[in-house]
Amino acid sequence: MRRDLTPDDIADLLHAPKCSTLATYRRDGMVLLSPVWHEWREGTFWVHVGRNDVKGQHVRSDPRVSLVLYDDTPPYCGIEMRGRATLIIEGEREAVRRIAIRYLGEKVGNAYVDGFNWEGMLLRIDAERTRIWDFRDEYTGLGG
């Protein structure tokens, strides 16, 4: 496994339209795992949620979060970011449009956002610990 990687080493994955998994904490301390769309910007993950979404409620009471994004096809790579989330309203509509277009394409992404009838917010994950893995060397050694 390649070591001492930076986000730049897996930039293709960070900008690919793959779902990631966000972990937030319920009041009783149990974890909620949620598949989410994300945007990698300014060296961190941004996730869009509704203003009354349970993930945002969890972050209000406990800002600790983790997000995992990985490629499930060989040669397998991924990133786990643990830290604290900050709730941000400013720029939410522009961000959700960028995210929707990335996942759905321009036409469907714009229609998706234009059809919103609810307000959202962004979760910005401020990393305290980042772990990146990449098995490219092992896969290449197997003839992949």
Cα R_g (the chain), whole angstroms: 16
Query: Is residue 1 one of the residues assigned to a domain?
Result: no
Residue 2 lies in a domain: no
Residue 139 makes CB contacts below 8 A (sequence gap 6+) with 74, 75, 76
**Domain harbouring 103, CATH code:** 2.30.110.10
CA diameter of the chain: 51
What is the reported pTM? Answer: 0.91
Q: Please check whether residue 84 lies inside any domain of the structure.
A: yes
Q: What is the mean pLDDT of the chain?
A: 93
Number of domains in the chain: 1
pLDDT in tens, 41-80: 999 999 999 999 999 999 999 999 999 999 998 889 999 9
Establish if 26 belongs to a structural domain. Answer: yes
Range of the domain at 47: 7-141
pLDDT at 106 over 60: yes
Helix (H) / strand (E) containing 64: strand 64-71
Tell me whether residue 97 is in a domain.
Answer: yes
pLDDT, tens only, 12-49: 999 999 999 999 999 999 999 999 999 999 999 999 99
